[in-house]
Amino acid sequence: MTASSPPIRRLADWDHRRLERLADEHGTPLYVLDPQRVRENYQRFASAFPDAHVMYAAKAHTGRAVLSTLLDAGADIECAARGELERAIAAGADPNTLQYTAVNPPQADVEYAAELGAEHPGLTITAGARDTFNRLEAAGYDGRVAIRINPGIGTGHHEKVATGKDAKFGIPKAEVPELAAELRERFDLVGLHAHVGSGVLQDDLDDHCRAIETVADVARAVGDLEFLDIGGGFGVPYREEDDPLDVSVVGRRVREAVGDLDAQLALEPGRYVVADAELILTRVNTIKETDAATVVGVDASLATLIRPAMFDSYHPIRNVSAPDREPEPVSVGGPCCTSADVFCTDRPIARPRREDLLAIGNAGAYGYELANQFHSQPRPAEVALDDDGARVVRERETLADVTRVETGFDS
């Protein structure tokens, strides 16, 4: 990691001329990924936890370019679904290094994981329901498992990501010691796991560390563990005025919260690694002046980036074509026929004109992962920066791609 790796990359830090060239060459909307930034973010985080096992939480971005970059950087991969397991392996991950955190897994996923574990005994399967362990056993699995704990404390940027207090996730902490004793008769119990929320920043650290203390207390009660996995959830500042996490402070606070424990600490950063390593480029197509607002229409939509509609998320927006124009309050929205298709309302942006190029920042985490085909919109292309320019790492879909899986129907 070098001095060129600040703790957060703002939209103004991207090369605007390069972004203009990419939009001209590849069209819009367009995801632009910087793999070197992914590598820097991972290395910065891992350096704050030198004695820990740092895995990348694949659900934040499962693109091959991201997974390959992180595997090359020495990261292991944590997967929350069968598809993520398969994509990690296809990217070059050794199945013996993977951790699978099953949440209400479909039966086909249970059977796949059981077969994978039989062939690769280093695989670890984490489950947060007794029924999942029973299903694994019925599928013939008796390998490495970890128990996901529900500590009853949730943190993060939105109630929909405060998993630590949601009954969907994990075994209530009071039940874990008894379950651990039972599972030791049936599996190789190697760890405990907890993930209490997502988007944790400095102001959330007290609650986050309180949850970690709870989980560590359970780990001490269970004893004889290989690892305690406290998940991820470490955030980035989406708003320009917010400060980035000081991961050296986070590392110290987390170690203090865990305390004396005869087990390796494990963590699963996802958002922190990829969020600011990718942005979206989108063209202005419509300017509408009304008494209520100046509406700026763009070709990106909630099908391109659903986080603002789904989580009320803030994403920075910058006029790449003319960043020095006088800013004025505008509302930026896409072509979907719903009032939820809005990226911002009355936000000061350098006055956009038709054909201007806008950039939407911090789109690397849960951006393309949640992209969809609403309104029969093909998903955008994705390019990755390299020393020679950029290469396409995901082709732009066509309408034929959208309809390919439909079967014929004649009335």
Binding-site annotation: residue ranges for pyridoxal 5'-phosphate:
233, 268-271, 366
Binding-site annotation: residue ranges for substrate:
271, 307, 366
Three-state SS at 321: coil
Distance CA(285)–CA(282), nearest Å, equals 9
Assess whether the previous peptide bond of 29 is cis (omega < 30° from 0). yes
Q: Which of 79, 209, 336, 337 is catalytic?
A: 337
Question: For 124, how many CA atoms within 13 A lie in the half-sphere containing its CB?
Answer: 23
H-helix or E-strand spanning residue 82? helix 82-90
- Token pair 């992209």 in the structure block, residue: 371
Binding-site annotation: residue ranges:
233, 268-271, 307, 366
337 is catalytic: yes
Distance CA(349)–CA(317), nearest Å, equals 7
Backbone angles phi, psi at 204, to 5 degrees: -95, -5
Label residue 199 left, alpha or beta by phi (over 0 means left) and psi (-120 to 50 means alpha). Answer: left
Three-state SS at 132: helix
Backbone angles phi, psi at 62, to 5 degrees: -100, 10
CA distances from 231 to 179, 194, 249 (A): 20, 6, 17
User: Residue 346 burial by CB count (10 A; 0-12/13-18/19+): exposed, middle or buried?
Assistant: exposed
306-310: Cβ within 8 A, 24+ apart: 306/370, 306/371, 306/372, 307/366, 307/367, 307/370, 308/342, 308/343, 308/344, 309/340, 309/341, 309/342, 310/160, 310/370
Distance CA(18)–CA(387), nearest Å, equals 12
* First-residue to last-residue Cα distance in the chain: 62
Residue 315: CB partners within 8 Å, gap ≥ 6?
A: 238, 305, 307, 308, 343, 344, 360, 361, 362, 363
Sign for the pseudo-dihedral over CA of 73, 51, 4, 316: positive
Tokens of 227: 């690892």
Catalytic residue positions, numbered: 337
